Amino acid sequence: MNGLPKYVASHSLAKAEWAPTTILSGDIAAQVSELKRQPGRELQIHGSAQLGQSLLAAGLIDELRLVIAPVVVGNGRRLFPVGGAPAGLSLLRNETTPAGLAIHVYETAGLPKYATYQASA
């Protein structure tokens, strides 16, 4: 990871010490959209719910990799906020680690399709 290009979205950071790093500021969604049009490897977000929320709302997320720990915290920052942009997801794969972490990989699938859940007997 040290040699890979990194992009940091920030409202206050002017310089990054971890090379090669590019600071993104201002219209982050437009800059990410431009990065996605360029050839190269995938772009990933690590540990930024706020950035993830804004890029999901802008339609710039192709795949979500969620790692779910078997704990209930009760409060804290939400990945999917109340009133956030709706998004349809389609499960690509899932696994459970020996420690009990559930890893779910979804691709975005446009707007969600609403239905009523019917429990099996």
What does the pLDDT look like over 8-27, one tens digit per residue?
999 898 888 888 999 999 99
Query: Can you point out the beta strands (E) in the chain?
Result: 6-9, 21-24, 63-68, 89-96, 102-108
Asked whether the predicted pLDDT for residue 121 surpasses 80, the reply is no
Residue 97, pLDDT > 90, answer yes
Residues 45/55, Cβ–Cβ less than 8 Å: yes
CATH assignment of 26-108, among 3.30.750.24, 3.90.220.20, 3.40.430.10, 3.40.50.1820: 3.40.430.10
Say what the pLDDT of residue 106 is.
Answer: 97
1 has a pLDDT exceeding 80: no
Q: DSSP assignment of 79-90, as one string?
A: SS-TTPPP--EE
Name the percent of the chain lying above pLDDT 70. Answer: 99
